[in-house]
Structure 1
Amino acid sequence: MSYADIAAKGPKQSPEDARAPAQVEVEHSDESVHSLIDVDSPHISSVPSDYESQSVKTDTQAERIEREEEIKETAKDLKHKAAAKAQSAKDKARRNADNPVVISNAVGLALVGGILGIGAYRKYVRGELTGKVVAAWAGVVGLFAVGDYYVSQYFFKRNPPK
């Protein structure tokens, strides 16, 4: 069966029905002009001629630069305070370097920290490090700290820091 046979058997249409629908026309009116922005209104601003050569071009950029300067000043102040605290700690350590209580506390802290660290690592490697083990060790460290506090108080009364 050919195309001509199919077309001959199909429904008969008039040439007007067979053509495409007419295009929609755009209606022209001046009513849409009312929605345009008035260029003389105060919310429109022009850009100065030296805009590209300005280092700060927007208010947002100026605020960001101001905040960055404040942050830099704050960081500088914190750095100076930390340096002062570090110097104070060094001076305090120098003054008490010959105090037997301070020396014994430093040695005890290093010893207990090393033993606990090595023990925790060994238990971790074997897969035995649990919350109960950590809690038990924390309890032992707490008891050690309380005992050290009372022993240190006794020796500080006999040998006060300088």
Structure 2
Amino acid sequence: MIIMIAAVAENNALGKNNELVWHLPNDFKRFKNLTSGHHIIMGRKTFESFPKPLPNRTHIVISRQENYKPEGCIVANSIEEAIKICPENEISYIIGGGEIYELGMIHSDKIELTLVHHSFEADAFFPEINMDDWKIIHSEFQAKDEKHLFDYTYQTYIRK
């Protein structure tokens, strides 16, 4: 099963200058809990935005650069190649960025989305979710608090 996981703003913003534009500690914990122990697929820029590889996950980095070989990672040249590397009967996650989400949409079975209830200036965006293809099966609102400056909602979509 291929699952896309993302935190997006109401205007589908993902980030700016290869960084998130919000800080939601509970969403980081949710991301860690869901993706730990699994293969994670990402673009090169997303991988390079991490200070180091994320622990307890197999990193598959999509890059067009021929000699790109980050330590401890598997490099693929396309989303299709990246998905073929993942174990067939296990959950694998597509974790970004915008271009990889766009390419991964047709390959995904499920979307785990954190909708941040705000709009942000950004240079990377999540693709529109076509509700003819997807349905929401879970939605859980989280109110802002002293550690979270914005309200947000966890949403789970499955392909129809």
TM-score, length basis structure 2: 0.20
Structure exhibiting the larger radius of gyration computed from Cα positions: 1
| Structure with more relative contact order (C-alpha pairs < 8 Å, separation 6 or more) | 2
Q: Greater helix share, 1 or 2?
A: 1
TM-score, length basis structure 1: 0.20
